[in-house]
Amino acid sequence: MPDTVRDWSVYLVRCRDGSLYTGIATDVTRRFDEHVSGQRGAKYLRGRGPLALVFQQQVGSRSAASRVEHYLRRLPRRVKENTETLPARIEQILTGK
């Protein structure tokens, strides 16, 4: 199945040290389980458990997910901490407003 047809999501994972990791996936639950197991997860997250999935939002295409991920990574931590306002910010990115 082409990537543009799949529904991609962006997600935030909180580490034991309080840091936030941003990623994209078509199946966030599976990807989070990979991070937790350490087998196929991101190197950044290894040894930083326990991990907690604190935010996820479906954004559409892989291209859109990559744009949103880049935007979220550049946000200050205090903004990312407020997960109630993130959906509105993401919508602004997706609509270009």
Which tens digit of pLDDT belongs to each residue from 47-76? Answer: 888 999 999 999 999 999 999 999 999 999
Distance CA 66, CA 61 (A): 9
**How many Å separate Cα 95 from the centre of its chain?**
19
Flag whether 37 is in a domain: yes
**Average pLDDT value for residue range 28-36:** 95
pLDDT of residue 39: 83
pTM comes to 0.89
In this prediction, residue 5 carries a pLDDT of 56
CATH number at residue 30: 3.40.1440
**Residue 3 within a domain:** no
Residue 2 lies in a domain: no
How many Å separate Cα 62 from the centre of its chain? 12
Determine the structural domain holding residue 85 and report its residue range. 8-95
Assigned token pair, 92: 């602004």
Domain-located, residue 46: yes
Q: What residues contact 68, with CB distance under 8 A and at least 6 apart?
A: 10, 24, 59, 90, 93, 94
Query: Would residue 1 count as lying in a domain?
Result: no
Q: How many domains does the chain have?
A: 1
